[in-house]
Amino acid sequence: MSPGDPAGSTDLVLDGAIAHITFNRPAARNAMTWAMYEQLAAACAAIAANPAIRVAVLRGAGGKAFVAGTDIEQFQLFNSGEDGIAYEKRVDEFVGALEKLPVPSIAVVQGWAVGGGMALANACDLRLATPGSRFGVPIGRTLGNCLSAANLHRLCGKLGQAWVCRMLLAAEMPEAETLPSGYVEIVPPEVLEERIAILVGHIAGLAPLTLQATKEALRRLGNDAQAADADLIRLVYGSEDFREGVAAFVAKRTPRWSGS
């Protein structure tokens, strides 16, 4: 994509065990077009189908925003409330595709994570942010639209309802430093790349099936406190990796994870 391409792109680059997803529309603070959403879904499908990938890193191009919501130009085509229902359903599907990735995902936020960008960063498992980065969904003072119950549920599950009320009902855009402990790690810009490399290297060396099962169980619990888990437990305890982990622990050596 050229820097001036109005449609933007969501670019996937594979580097060994690491998948890099970049929202590439810096002239518009990486506001998402439908093409970018579709490319995100395709990137998630490609990662899910590749057993060599162990972790995904998502970030916005340009260093000033992760994603500044959905491209507002697209809303001018809406004619009725039914258009809003269809839109929210599609966004739920795209956010859900990111949430369902079988590998850990890390959102790297430099600047703004707004609206749809907030939803995407929240759908990731871990978040890194440079000082002063802002998170929020200030639609009460901007577009006057609303979020689906599904996306509100996702936000409440990780941030807590009190913070979601501040973001939605008071239209606040809090700085990363003020968000609940553990929600985001603040990293100075001069060491950001080093911190990303250390974190992804560490995660890539962990037992992949354990991480996959844990991610999926947490996702299910977000919707159902009595979620079924026998298939996940069977996957892990019946794996070669589990047997390797036990053998390595007994032998006092580092396990060699295969993902099988």
Q: Which of 19, 23, 59, 13 is nearest to 204 (CA)?
A: 19
User: What pLDDT, in 10s, does the model give residues 87-144?
Assistant: 889 999 999 999 999 999 999 999 999 999 999 999 999 999 999 999 999 999 888 8
Q: Is the pLDDT of residue 225 over 70?
A: no
Q: 21 and 200 in contact (C-beta within 8 Å)? A: no
Instruction: Tell me the C-alpha distance between 149 and 169, whole Å.
Output: 15
Confidence of residue 5 (pLDDT cuts 50, 70, 90): low
Report the SS3 class of residue 150. Answer: helix
Q: Is the pLDDT of residue 4 over 60?
A: no
pLDDT confidence of residue 3: 39
Residue with tokens 């996306």: 151
Most confidently predicted of 60-64, 148-152, 222-226: 60-64
| pLDDT above 70 as % of the chain | 97
Tokens found for residue 246: 């036990």
Q: 27 and 4 in contact (C-beta within 8 Å)? A: yes
Instruction: Tell me the C-alpha distance between 242 and 63, whole Å.
Output: 40
